Amino acid sequence: MENAEKTLKEKFGATEYAKLAAINNPELHSFIAKYVQLMEPQTAFVFTGSKEDLDHVRKRALERGEEKRLAIPGHTIHFDGLQDQGRAKDDTQILLSKPVDFGPDINVMDRQKGLGEIHEFLKGISKTNELYVCFFCLGPAGSEFAIPALQITDSAYVVHSESLLYRNGYEEFKRLGAKARFFKFVHSQGELEGGVTKNISKRRMYMDIEGEAAYSVNTQYAGNSVGLKKIAMRLAIARAAREGWLTEHMFVVGVLGPGRMTYFSGAFPSLCGKTSTATLECCSIVGDDIAYLRNKAGEVRAVNVEKGVFGIIDGVNSKDDPVLWEALHGKNEVIFSNVLVTDGGGVYWNGKDGEVPKRGVNYSGEWRPGKKSADGKDILPSHKNARFTIDLASVRNLDPHLDDPKGVVLSGIIYGGRDASTGVPVEEAFEWNHGVVTKGATLESETTMATLGKEGVRSFNPMSNVDFLSIPIGEYVESHLKFGAGLGKPPKIFSVNYFLRDAGGSFLNGKTDKRVWLKWMELRTRGEAGAVRIPTGLIPKYADLRRLFREELDKEYSEEHYAKQFTVKIPENLAKIERMLKVYRENVAGAPRAVFEELEAQKKRLEAARSRDGDYVAPEKFPDA
């Protein structure tokens, strides 16, 4: 400990060391000293969240070219490298001392080997940089949901982003002292060339589950570098599994009903409408991305882990996304990433109102319409995974319970993904286990640019969380089943599909139709709307949807459109069941028996309907629930 304090005093100097000394936690000091010695920064700074500290970080981000000013004061642009535009699954590893069969698409490495490798990458990596030691809090401070988090990084952009996204945790660390059970994150963007990470071949994101620590190097993209984001989910999922609660890739919103507010959480893969749903005008937003769920007196309570939004900007426009549009054009702070910067410091992204600019600068450098990539493809004005980072305080429909230490009571849980051919636009599960298995554990989605790799591939993504799991898939599904068994009033479970297409490839849903689906779900949680019982769940009655389309969208909704959207596609549903049975039998060790029971029961219901009415069955063929 004496050596640790000596290192901290020498590297930080009197003023910065005093900030650390105010926290009585020897484990914390030793950890910081270890990585200060290893990374060998030019200077070191302790970020407490004060105005002075934040001003320093903003200034350094601009000086180092990690961000640049835009025309609107408080708005900045950040660019990631051409090969650093999304979460890099192939470079991500879970570190474990003993080998475990996690299931498909989850990489596992020996813990000692991984730590040795990452420490080699970190050695002397910050010699020309300033190192920032930061204190944040996942969840409302002082709550049983809260997890203190230490971030060490040499990127001012990362610290600036985290100041918008996460609650300040410095006072929480001081309050808890040596009792703090904190997560630890170490990051370096590595050597920069032209303002972006140079050594992408040495990009690594390693999660040390046993040490509740995570490391990322040679990357700037926030999904890889902002430790408290998806990196922290791996640590929290493992802790939650041990302690009997859930860490989920979910928004939390209040849906306005007749004189009341009803709260839902929802899990959607990236680019599947998650943020646009969470920021609908008919909702009050608690959070758009990550939630902790606990059983309190038989009810599910949820908190938003964050206080900001790191959202996909592609397609955001004033008509379909008025709440986000206002936030992105206000006087509040906004960090744009990988959009087009126009002459005069404006920004343009794909799908924004107005004409496409004739020139500008984007993540590929100087840009003009028709610019091609090395493989001959058109480079769009902004990357499809271009983002914005804002504090939720800038969103006008912010829910007053954002910082409630008790969280909000959930009445419904929604799962959604990209599905062009199978699922109906909205459907309710029969009960908890049916919903967990057929809506969550068997969620498939067509891949997008949020993850590096090929687009449009149907991907198995249980609970929209497979990219972030730190426990085996079978154990993860079992944790949901056990969680539900302990509930006196379990939330209803729903699925939505915004991406259903007709035979000609046209979408059957309008972008704003999701308002109607949410309103129907809200009524269902209160027992105030009927339903039709189909083999896969409960769907709306036509009369209810016709009324809701008029009330919410001032739009006529025809019986013909209802039939197209809610016809049960039996061959496609049976094919999905066979895919899922194969995955769980062959690739998921320790899969719960309930998975097979629910899928086989659903298969029998579908086969019975086919024998009676054929392959494609209109909703009027089924009875009321």
Find, among 363, 369, 313, the residue nearest to 338 by Cα: 363
Angle at 481 between CA 477 and CA 484, to 5 degrees: 140
Find, among 243, 191, 189, 253, the residue nearest to 212 by Cα: 243
| DSSP-assigned letter for residue 222 | H
Quick one: how far is CA 585 from the chain centroid? Answer: 28
E-strand stretches of 222-355: 246-248, 250-257, 260-267, 283-287, 291-296, 299-304, 308-312, 334-337, 340-341, 347-348
Separation of alpha carbons 502 and 142, rounded Å = 50
Beta bridge partners of 388: 311, 336
**Phi, then psi, of 312 in degrees rounded to 5:** -75, 130
Separation of alpha carbons 194 and 411, rounded Å = 49
Find, among 293, 229, 316, 322, the residue nearest to 491 by Cα: 293
Separation of alpha carbons 540 and 524, rounded Å = 9
CB 420 within 8 A of CB 499: yes
Separation of alpha carbons 336 and 328, rounded Å = 9
Residue 625: is it exposed, middle or buried by C-beta count within 10 angstroms (0-12/13-18/19+)? middle
Structure tokens at 339: 């959009």
CB 35 within 8 A of CB 186: yes
Alpha helices in 245-379 (DSSP H): 274-278, 322-329
Q: What positions carry a catalytic annotation?
A: 272
